[in-house]
Amino acid sequence: MSYVKELIPPRAPPALIGRQLAPARIAGILVLLVWAALAIALVFMMISGWNEDKFLRYGPRYLHGLWTTISLVGLAVILGAVLSAPIAFARMSKNKALNGLSYAYVYVFRSTPLLAQLFMIYYGLGSFKPQLESVDLWWFFREAWYCGLFSLTLNTAAYQAEILRGAIESVPRGQHEGAAALGLSKRNAFRKVILPQALIVALRPYGNEIVLLIKGSAVVAIVTVFDLMGETRYAFSRTFDYQTYLWAAIFYLAIVEALRHLWAFIEARLTRHLKR
Amino acid sequence: MSGFFSALLSALDPLCGPVGLFSLFGSGSIVACGETGWGDEIAFGVKVTITLALATLPVGLVIGFLIALAAQSEDKLLRLAAGIYTTIFRGLPELLTLFIVYYGLQILIQAVLASFGYAGRVEINAFFAGMAALAVVFSSYSSEVLLSAFRAIPRGQYEAGDALGLHRSRTMLLVILPQLIRIALPGLTNLWLILLKDTSYVSVIGLADILRQTGIAARVSKEAFFFYGIACLLYLILAMVSSVGLGFIERWAKRSEGRR
C-alpha cells in the first residue's frame, strides 16, 4: 500500500494579475470627463460673464417668471383634476354617447401638440372677438395668461382622466364584491374602498404628469406670457447672452428634481403599509 | 424610370395629389393647392414634420440604446454618467433644450472656427438643430424604456448564449435584441407619438413645419381658427396613421409568441 510520505511544501500564491481596465470603465471615465468639462465650462462661463448690472436687472424678473410658472402649473393641475373626474367617469360609463364623447376628447387632446392647442385657443378663438365680446368672455381670451392656463388645463385634464380611469379600473373586482357583501352602498364603497386604493396606484402617474406639465408650460412663453421661459427669452433678446438659457435650465432642473424627490418621499410615506 | 416614380409619388400625394385631401375638398378655396391657396405650403409643412420625426427616430433610438447599455452596466462610473444624461434631458423642457442646442451649437461652432481664424457669423440649419435636440430628448426617454426591457430579460438568456459559445456581441444581436424589441415596442410606440407632437417646437426656431406654415397662413389670411384647426387635424391624422402602422409592427413582432 502506498501512501504519501511527504507533504507538498507550501508554495507562494500565483502572481497577482493587475486588475484590468475594462472597456466599460474607460468609457465611463471618458463620459464623466466630458460631463466634468461641460460643468467646468458652465461655471467658467458664469464667472467670466458675471455682470452685476445684468444680474440686478434680470434676477428679479427670473424669480417673477419662476413664480408665474409655478402658479400657472399649480392652478392647471388643480383645475385639470377637477375637470378630469367627470371625463373619467364618462369614459367608464356604459352610455355610448358619453363614452364616445369623452374618448374623442381624450384622444384629440392627447394626440395634438400642446403648442397647436395653445395657438388654437389664443389666436384661433381670439379671432372671434365680436362674438366673445357679446357673451362677455373677451376679457378672458384677451389675456395670454388666461389662455395659457385654459389650454394647460384642458390638456392636463385629458391626461389626468386617463390616469384616473386606469387607476380605478385597476382595482380588482373582488373589492367591489367585498364591499357589496358588507352591505356598503355604491357611493360609500367607492369613497371608502375603491378610491383610496385607486389613488395609490395613480400617485406615480400623477407625479409624472405634473413634471410633464411643468416642462410643457414653457410653451406659453411663445404667446407672450412672461413665465420662466418667457423671461429667459426676454433677457436673451436684450443681452444676446447665452447664459440666460443656462440659468433657465438650472431653474427648471431644480424644480423638476425637487418635485421628483418630494413625490418619491410622499409615495414612500403613503405606501408604507404595503411594504413587507 | 425616376420620372415614373416621381409621377407615381405625386399621384399618390395624400394632400395635393389628384386624389389628395386639399385637391378634392379645397379647390377654389383658401386651402387650394397652387398659387391661389395655402394647400401646397401646408403640404410642404407636413412633409417637413414627417421627415424630421423619421430622421430623429433612428438617431434617438441608437443613442437611447447606448445609454440603456451604459445604465445597466456593472461599472459604477458608467452608470453615473448615463444617469446624469437622463436626469438632465428628462428634466429640461423640450423647448429649452431646443434653444440650448440651437444657440449652443452655433456658439460652439463659431468658437471652433474662430480658433482656426475664421471670424464670420455661423448659422446652423434649423432642421439639424431640431433633429439634434429632439434626438437628445427622445434618447433619454427611450433609454428608460429600453432599460426596463433589458431588466425583463432573464439572466438565463445571456448564460444560454455563453453556453452556446456565442460571442458577447453575437448574443446581444441574436438572442437579446429580438426579445428586447418585442418587450420595448409598446413603450417605444408611445415615445414615437410624443416625438411626433414634439416636432411642433421646431416651428419656433423657424423651420417650416405644419405649425409654422399654418401659422403663416393664419396671419396672412386672418383665418386663425380655421388654419390652426387644420394643423390640429393634420397632427391627429398623423397620430392615427402611425398608430395603425405601429399596430401592424406590434403584431409582426409578436408573431413568434404562442397564441393565448
> CA of B69 to nearest chain A CA: how many angstroms apart?
10
List chain B residues with CB under 8 Å of A252.
91-93, 96
CATH number at residue B160: 1.10.3720.10
Residue of B nearest to A105 (CA): B236
pLDDT at B6: 67
**Residue A6 pLDDT more than 90?**
no
Confidence bin at B19 (pLDDT 50/70/90): low
**Residue B25 pLDDT more than 70?**
no
8 Å CB contact of B218 and A123? yes
pLDDT at A220: 93
**Residue A161 pLDDT more than 60?**
yes
8 Å CB contact of B74 and A246? no
Residue of B nearest to A260 (CA): B91
**Residue B14 pLDDT more than 80?**
no
Question: Of how many residues is chain B composed?
Answer: 260
Q: Do A78 and A152 form a contact (C-beta atoms < 8 A)? A: no
Amino acid letter, residue B201: Y
In a domain, B134, yes or no: yes
> Percentage of chain A with pLDDT > 70?
98
- Least confident interval from A190-194, B228-232, B253-257: B253-257
Confidence bin at B158 (pLDDT 50/70/90): very high
**Residue B1 pLDDT more than 60?**
no
**Residue A268 pLDDT more than 70?**
yes
List chain B residues with CB under 8 Å of A32.
77, 80-81
Helix (H, G, I), strand (E, B) or coil at B28: coil
- Cell (9 digits) for B53: 420625426
> CA of B3 to nearest chain A CA: how many angstroms apart?
36
CATH class of A57-274: mainly alpha
Residue of B nearest to A252 (CA): B92
> CA of A196 to nearest chain B CA: how many angstroms apart?
28
In a domain, B239, yes or no: no
- What is the Cα A22 distance to its own chain's centre? 37
Residue of A nearest to B98 (CA): A245
Average pLDDT over chain A, rounded to whole?
90
In a domain, B74, yes or no: yes
Q: State how far the Cα of B209 lies from the Cα of B197, in Å rounded to an integer.
A: 12
Confidence bin at B8 (pLDDT 50/70/90): low
Residue of A nearest to B211 (CA): A116
pLDDT at B198: 93
- Cell (9 digits) for A184: 356598503
In a domain, B55, yes or no: yes
- C-alpha distances (whole Å) from A51 to each of A4, A56, A59 are 86, 9, 11
In a domain, B256, yes or no: no
In a domain, B68, yes or no: yes
Confidence bin at B10 (pLDDT 50/70/90): low
List chain A residues with CB under 8 Å of B201.
113, 115, 219
List chain B residues with CB under 8 Å of A112.
197, 232, 235-236, 239
Q: Who contacts B225 (Cβ-Cβ below 8 Å, separation ≥6)?
A: A120, A123, A124, A125, A127, A128
Residue of B nearest to A249 (CA): B92
Of B75, B199, B222, the CB nearest to A25: B75
Please check whether residue A154 touches B, CB under 8 A: no
Please check whether residue A119 touches B, CB under 8 A: yes
Please check whether residue A243 touches B, CB under 8 A: no
Of A32, A119, A257, the CB nearest to B91: A257
Please check whether residue A29 touches B, CB under 8 A: yes
Task: Output the pTM of the full model.
Answer: 0.87
- Whether the ipTM is more than 0.90: the answer is no
pLDDT at A157: 96
In a domain, B111, yes or no: yes
DSSP state of B205: G
Name the more confident of B126 and B27: B126
List chain A residues with CB under 8 Å of B222.
127
8 Å CB contact of B229 and A119? no
Confidence bin at A110 (pLDDT 50/70/90): very high
8 Å CB contact of A35 and B193? no
Of A111, A128, A218, the CB nearest to B225: A128
Q: State how far the Cα of A7 lies from the Cα of A263, in Å rounded to an integer.
A: 66
8 Å CB contact of B225 and A120? yes
Please check whether residue B73 touches A, CB under 8 A: yes
Domains of chain B: total:
1
CA-based nearest residue to B46, from B60, B35, B59, B33: B33
In a domain, B251, yes or no: no
> Percentage of chain B with pLDDT > 90?
57
pLDDT tens digit sequence for A140-150: 888 899 999 99
pLDDT tens digit sequence for A85-102: 999 999 999 999 999 999
**B132-155 mean pLDDT:** 94
8 Å CB contact of A127 and B77? no
pLDDT tens digit sequence for B51-79: 999 999 999 999 999 999 999 888 888 89
**Residue B169 pLDDT more than 80?**
yes
**A227-251 mean pLDDT:** 90
Domain that holds residue B181: 47-207
Please check whether residue A253 touches B, CB under 8 A: yes
Give me the total of CB pairs closer than 8 Å, taking one residue from chain A and one from chain B: 138
